[in-house]
Structure 1
Amino acid sequence: MNQLDQLKAFTTVVADTGNFLQLAQFAPRDATTNPSLILKAVQSPDYAPLLKATVEAHRGQPLDEIVDHVLVRFGLEILKVVPGRVSTEVDARLSFDKAASLARARRIIALYEAAGVPRERVLIKLASTWEGIQAAAELEREGIRCNLTLLFAFCQAVACADAKVQLISPFVGRIYDWYKKSAGANWDETAMAGVNDPGVKSVSQIYAYFKQHGIKTEVMGASFRNIGQIQALSGCDLLTISPDLLAQLQASDATLARVLDPARVQPMPVVHYDEAGFRFALNEDAMATEKLAEGIRLFAVDAGKLDKLIEAC
């Protein structure tokens, strides 16, 4: 049995891609997308006709509405392949605007429902800013399930749990990137691999806290740089993995042991954050502050590029 199949025995495998033509070979349960992945997909000759057809069908509508139609069209194609859920992201440029995020989220869900997809099969992705988390809390009360992304700090995870969001996506690889860059010549790749990887340690802490305190929010490790990080988080509720790394897992027959287990978590005290406490805790974490800001900027740039591609159609 290959490592991908072994992983599926105790972790839900999610494909991290906008390339739905690649999905079937890995048989993931869910799939996630983001502005960068959709941008990459629509620039491929395989998907250019789909982009053109979608834009043509909605020509004359405001640009932001056409963008949402494009995102949902990709989501609909993905849902033909995966049996579970697809995550579709609200424009990162709205990450600090609760009202605008709510409006976009509701419109995306309405488009899915108009296409015959029940809202239970869709996760609305929002950045884990204070505003994004509060928007998610309101959406969850309406039965709109959310995936809080760009999550780097423990305080973000706790705030998401308090908001009763469906799922969080703590980023492993980008945390690893920050610490590696910060250490410079002093970085020891061997010593900082596996369970000692700073990104792995962050997700493991969140997982342990959620399991110990009976928090129902699903933990989905994301943003992996190598299969060692995935192996060290085996047993996590979900892991969203790029096609390249899925292929590496599929190609290996080595034994994969479960690492995270709700029966083996260390006691941690309950904590809560109000807005001021959240902002201060996030500010105290230089890595999380920098990576959250950088992530929003990068997604915003790619959202702008997607706008231009659509306008050029």
Structure 2
Amino acid sequence: MVSKLDQLRQMSVVVADTGDIDAVSQLKPVDCTTNPTLVLKAVSLPRFAETLDEAVAWGRAQSGTPAAVAGAVADRLAVSVGAALTALVPGRVSTEVDADLSFDTAATVDKARAVIAAYAARGIGRERILIKVAATWEGIRAAEVLQSEGIDCNLTLIFSRLQAIAAADAGAFLISPFVGRILDWYVKSTGKTFTPEEDPGVQSVREIYRTFKAHGIRTVVMAASFRNPGEIEALAGCDRLTISPALLETLAADNGPLERRLSPDAAEGDVPARIVLDERAFRWGMNEDAMATEKLAEGIRLFARDLATLRALVAGRLAD
């Protein structure tokens, strides 16, 4: 029998949402995506003990304030984890720009260029990397600059079609609309239980996908943040799906049939009009969408918190 994971691979590009080398080796995704949370988890594993030691030793040879050196070592660790993943997947690895730069276009651009240069120093070309940036107005503007320089971007923390369209207008290579975090918000705010078909996160991604395909938008749609296999199955056929190892294993163990739910050829009918956005329209639209505003802010805070934890871990090691 063919597993649901193997069936899914015939419909969508499967991406591993992890920094776990063993999981990537076993599950063989095409791409990998990381974030500060996943890098923090990765460097706590025995497999990355030498990587952490190397980065700390490198940091001790750098000049600058303790905070600046700790930040540089954290950046080096993120690239080290990403480099290890590029050796295991045939496609791309997403590496996230610091969440605390989410509202600073110039600093995001500078950091992205530095990340690409760090990969290049290890012999890894930019065609293997996606720069992951939060889909704030400032982050989207940074992606516009980076895309013009041939640096492909993954606009993350997408919670609304408005963010998705703005990212596409900026020429983003890929967007990551979140599913499970949208569901979390609606479950908390309404107290309801949703089936996969009713799931507000699933509905959001479907609307974005249909809009992009109907209007010929080339930006890749990669659904992310899944809470259960039903959400994944409800989006089978989406361009890409980034999935945690636990859910990948669940799909690999299930030999039931899997129906394709999204297809470029079926993205017709009642499709929302292609909206035109300037900064005022974007900010007002986000202000009017409580869920998108709250989940974007929360996502940035959580990634910034884990980045701060990683920097504190590094600072502690540097001080030993």
Normalised by the size of structure 1, how large is the TM-score? 0.96
Q: Deviations over 1:259-304 (max 9, x none)?
A: 0011112333111110000000011110000000111111111000
Mapped to 2, the partners of 1:270 and 1:138 lie a distance apart of 23
Mapped to 2, the partners of 1:298 and 1:203 lie a distance apart of 22
Mapped to 2, the partners of 1:157 and 1:60 lie a distance apart of 42
Contact 2:168-2:217 at 8 Å conserved across structures: yes
Q: Which amino acid aligns with 1:269?
A: A
Q: Among residues 147, 155, 160, which one is paired with 2:154 in the alignment?
A: 147
User: Over aligned residue pairs, what C-alpha RMSD do you find?
Assistant: 1.0
Contact 2:70-2:312 at 8 Å conserved across structures: no
| Aligned counterpart, 1:249 | 251
| Aligned counterpart, 1:104 | 111
Mapped to 2, the partners of 1:250 and 1:216 lie a distance apart of 30
| Aligned counterpart, 2:65 | none
Mapped to 1, the partners of 2:105 and 2:178 lie a distance apart of 22
Q: Among residues 157, 163, 166, which one is paired with 1:159 in the alignment?
A: 166
Mapped to 2, the partners of 1:59 and 1:278 lie a distance apart of 44
The answer to whether residue 60 in structure 2 is matched with residue 59 in structure 1 is yes
| Aligned counterpart, 1:24 | 25
Q: Identity of paired residues, percent?
A: 54
1:63 CA displacement: 2.6
Q: Deviations over 1:140-178 (max 9, x none)?
A: 000000000111011100100100100000000000000
| Alignment gaps of 5+ in structure 2 | 63-68
Q: Among residues 294, 304, 311, which one is paired with 2:308 in the alignment?
A: 304
Q: Matched residue of 1:194: which SS?
A: coil
Contact 2:235-2:261 at 8 Å conserved across structures: yes
Q: Matched residue of 1:240: which SS?
A: strand
Mapped to 1, the partners of 2:84 and 2:223 lie a distance apart of 24
Q: Which amino acid aligns with 2:227?
A: R
Mapped to 2, the partners of 1:54 and 1:243 lie a distance apart of 26
1:195 CA displacement: 2.3
Alignment of structure 1 residues 1-313 onto 2, 5 Å: 1-61=2-62, 62-184=69-191, 187=192, 189=193, 192-265=194-267, 266=269, 267-313=271-317
Normalised by the size of structure 2, how large is the TM-score? 0.94
Q: Matched residue of 2:264: which SS?
A: coil
Contact 1:212-1:268 at 8 Å conserved across structures: no
Q: Matched residue of 1:125: which SS?
A: strand
Q: Deviations over 1:55-97 (max 9, x none)?
A: 2123243332222111110011001110100000000000001
1:181 CA displacement: 0.4
Q: Which amino acid aligns with 1:69?
A: R
1:27 CA displacement: 1.0
1:22 CA displacement: 1.4
Q: Matched residue of 1:195: which SS?
A: coil
Mapped to 1, the partners of 2:287 and 2:58 lie a distance apart of 45
| Alignment gaps of 5+ in structure 1 | none
The number of residue pairs the alignment matches comes to 308
Q: Which amino acid aligns with 1:226?
A: N
